[in-house]
Chains A and B, each alone.
Chain A
Amino acid sequence: MNDLTPDRDERVANLKGMGCSRKRVEDARFTQGKGNYVDDVKMPGMLHGDFVRSPYAHARVKSINIDAAMALDGVVAVLTAKDLEPLSLHWMPTLAGDKQMVLADGKVLFQGQEVAFVVARDRYVAADAVELVEVDYEELPVLVDPFKSLASDVVLREDLEPGAPGAHGPRKHHNHIFHWEAGDLEATEQVIENAEVVAEESMYYHRTHPCPLETCGAVASMDKVNGKLTVYGTFQAPHVVRTVASLLSGIEEHNIRVVSPDIGGGFGNKVGVYPGYVCAIVASIVTGVPVKWIEDRMENLMSTAFARDYWMKGKISATKDGKITGLHCQVTADHGAFDACADPTKFPAGFMNICTGSYDIPVAYLGVDGVYTNKAPGGVSYRCSFRVTEAVYFIERMIEVLAIELNMDAAELRRINFIKKEQFPYTAALGWEYDSGDYHTAWDKALKAVDYEGLRKEQAERVEAFKRGETRKLMGVGLSFFTEIVGAGPVKNCDILGMGMFDSCEIRIHPTGSAIARLGTISQGQGHATTFAQILATEIGLPADSITIEEGDTDTAPYGLGTYGSRSTPVAGAATAMAGRKIRAKAQMIAAYLLEVHDNDVEFDVDRFVVKGAPERFKTMKDIAYAAYHQAIPGLEPGLEAVSYYDPPNMTYPFGAYVCVMDIDVDTGVPEIRRFYALDDCGTRINPMVIEGQIHGGLTEALAVALGQEIAYDDMGNVKNATLMDFFLPTAWEVPNYETDFTVTPSPHHPIGAKGVGESPHVGGVPCFSNAVQDAFRPFGLRHTNMPHDHWRIWQTANNLGLHD
């Protein structure tokens, strides 16, 4: 270095690389109303599509009369299954190996199902025409309970051959979808039978919906002159959509361009392929002009992508002093009318087999049965990796129930069963290999931060005061310790529709030392444009402010499997680091040439290569970029570009320790969150500000799910929560301030040690809020009560326990 060289810390700070709370580059446009979401996309001559939907949950469609609708001024087309059939598009494959009606083919199987697609001049005319389509239905018996469905003579899916196996093996009944299992049933049963203590519990994880603020939508434009189809849409996996669109339509993949513009939140809702996308594409092909389809909120809640709906029956065994010896879990999974779960192909119940949680449990068994009912299809991972919220809720409730059985403190029960630091990499009884963790340190830090013992003392005093009639408020201390499994995933066992779940990054360094990097993922608010530039800044030594990140346009971005299951950082983040390292490797050769030394005689130092032992001799990355384009370097191609397709060797396993302190008014059922402490360990931290933001958001979605949000059906199959009047989305008024904290246990196999964080707070948050409610009533004999804990249900719990007498 010379006198003009800024010191190392200053150079590191200038890069705004990893570890820095860099302000987001996205925000300038979003705060000024200049985002470009799918409903902002306008094309010349564009028509609007709208659906005729079934008011019935199960009915035969006897006839559809479109004459009156077609006669309305401004209506261009009305599509029904009959129109799609010649194109073989009246049904489409689902991500789960099943198929789904695009438009009702002979019958409807859930309320809100798509029956006909009206295409008109504008959205008002389209909505008018929807009212004019006459559909003659004949009602059929409705099944909304999976247990009744499995015992019913009523055949829901008449299209499936009776007795024929499904995508995941034999089916036990005409309304059965699959049986899937993991672990050792016999050994588990034996351990539980001979155990000193066994706790059993049945729990229902209710159906809910991701409900991003922006609903789903698409604009399809078929350019018949050039034979090119362009589709803008709310796609969490744009490249997969292109491949599926090609396979379905027969249009060659190079003639399809799929673009995910700005996305107004996804949370799993925008992973699947929906009839609206297909109909917009077909309508554009038919009419020759662009067609826009935008869901309204009611359609969103009723038809696209529910989450959860798991009936879980558990048995957990332990020694008298609380060492867990075995775990048994049997799930009945309500998948609705079509199996449209968004899981990797080999995992029809997602990663539910992470349900041994953070505990060293020697034997375990999990069985899952998927069932058809007259409810909307979906089963997406709502702000979690595949079914991980269900798994973590299950084990964190079973721990609480076992603690009651053992008359033991639930924090202590967790502590004595945690997988120990020295056991990692740890292979769980249900097969997963946990990469790294230090659970005891995190737990101790969390309990100390909240003064756990003090809380328990206060709670005991409160119970006494309540019994003396001095207060009507109980206090609950909710605990949860979760381990997530994210970053799907190794191609060897994770694929979607046959496509391995790798991800990608392509970097071009410009001659003046700035860069563009494109990834196979797509941000829906996570801030990729900000954080991926930070990874690169640290890896290649150019300032993050000089690096543009682009995603979502399949014509320019490298193929990737998209953003869900917290996979962007674990997979595309790794690809970014690896592509950066390829850039650095070439830069090293260029630097050595420029400095007239051997390649091995230079080393990377923040933003430059220096000659080893002579740091005053250096070439900055900016110098190197310039040379790559302006100088003939023997043995090297001009230019400075790299691409990496990354197949992760393993998943990553973020974890965390949460504590919620709640006061519950037993007479109104209103829970008041006094305190919420969240410690997250997501490995290496790229942008602490963004991480904290993700945690606040994930916890708030957890609060919603635990304390009121649900999609419920009546016996007729009517959706009871189809507008935001009834579907609980918390406002600023209901949400507390959260305390965030962290430990750092890097992933040993990830190039930068990062594990992913976006979904952890939801996964850990739901059981924590739920446990807080249930813990408040534990002194009065409550063992378990199902979510959502809305005011009415909490009041009922208090009433059932005799607290209103």
Chain B
Amino acid sequence: MPDKMHVKLNVNGEDHEFLAEPRELLIYALREKLNITGPHVGCETSHCGACTVTLNGKSVKSCTVFVAQANGSEINTVEGLGSPDAMHVLQENFREHHGLQCGFCTPGMITRASKLLEEIPNPTEEEVRFGMAGNICRCTGYQNIVKSILSAAAEMNAAKEAAQ
């Protein structure tokens, strides 16, 4: 049994400290130690994207990051995006455009989409499809996911313009 290490993470703006084996995967630390169960495990090989979180400003698959590697970092998950009273524009648009069915990929999908819209605030359909290709959905066939993201982008851009 390897020695446990002291891990500090800031998740969705909140500081956490805990002991973990260095080999523990970030996804399990989030889900089992911190009860952040939005990100899911779909493959454990970085293919499906259900576990997507934002780690220090970048989209990562948390099923292939050791918690030791994440030590000291800032992490954002779907839980940090909106609240029941004020859902994030992406969350609202996924609902509006039927961008989800079983919901298992959705937290990773929305977390990735939020990052994508920071990287490319006004994406084309092709850019959305390419930028979301690391996240697999088995239910929707993506058509409505793409629609949801494009619609959210338009809404966010309109809000930005109105604010200027």
Contact = CB atoms under 8 A, between A and B. Distances in A.
B37 A31 contact: no
Contact of B101 (A32, A39, A73, A525): A525
A732 B78 contact: no
A707 to B, nearest CB: 14
Contacts of B100: 27, 30-31
Interface in B13-62: 21, 23-24, 28, 31-32, 35-45, 47-48, 50
A731 interface: yes
B43 A723 contact: yes
A37 B136 contact: no
Given A28-B84, A213-B48, A525-B103, A733 B129 contact: yes
A212 B145 CA distance: 18
B2 to A, nearest CB: 10
Contacts of A786: none
A705 interface: no
A304 B101 CA distance: 23
B89 to A, nearest CB: 11
Contacts of B129: 732-733
Contact of A696 (B32, B104, B143): B143
B110 interface: yes
A733 B130 contact: yes
Contact of B47 (A73, A267, A724, A738): A724
Given A31-B87, A213-B137, A527-B101, A73 B1 contact: yes
A296 interface: yes
Interface string A111-143: 000000000001110000000000000000000
A340 B132 CA distance: 37
A42 B33 CA distance: 11
Contacts of B135: 731-732
8 contacts: A30-B106, A40-B37, A214-B104, A264-B104, A265-B104, A693-B139, A732-B145, A735-B141
A674 to B, nearest CB: 15
A696 B47 contact: no
Contacts of B144: 693, 696
Contacts of B1: 73
A246 to B, nearest CB: 28
Interface residues of A, number: 58
B73 interface: no
B6 interface: no
A731 B44 CA distance: 17
Interface of A: 23-24, 26-35, 37, 39-40, 42, 73, 122-124, 211-215, 262-265, 267, 294, 296-297, 524-527, 689-690, 692-694, 696-701, 723-725, 729, 731-733, 735, 737-738
Contacts of B48: 213, 297, 724, 729
A213 B101 contact: no
B47, B50, B94, B110 — most chain A CB neighbours (10 Å)? B47
B121 interface: no
A738 B143 CA distance: 8
B128 interface: yes
Given A40-B37, A213-B50, A724-B45, A693 B101 contact: yes
Given A33-B77, A40-B37, A724-B43, A124 B23 contact: yes
**7 nearest A-B pairs in the assembled complex, by CB-CB distance:** A33-B38, A525-B102, A30-B103, A264-B104, A696-B141, A700-B141, A525-B101
A278 B32 CA distance: 24
Nearest to B144: A693
Nearest to A525: B102
Contacts of B37: 33, 39-40
Given A213-B50, A723-B45, A732 B146 contact: yes
Contacts of B142: 696, 700, 731-732, 735
Given A123-B28, A265-B104, A211 B143 contact: no
Interface in B109-130: 110, 128-130
Contacts of B42: 213-215, 297
Contact of B143 (A28, A37, A123, A737): A737
Nearest to B41: A39
B47 A264 contact: no
B48, B106, B132 — most chain A CB neighbours (10 Å)? B106
B90 to A, nearest CB: 8
Contacts of A690: 98
B102 A213 contact: yes
A526 B91 contact: no
A701 B139 CA distance: 8
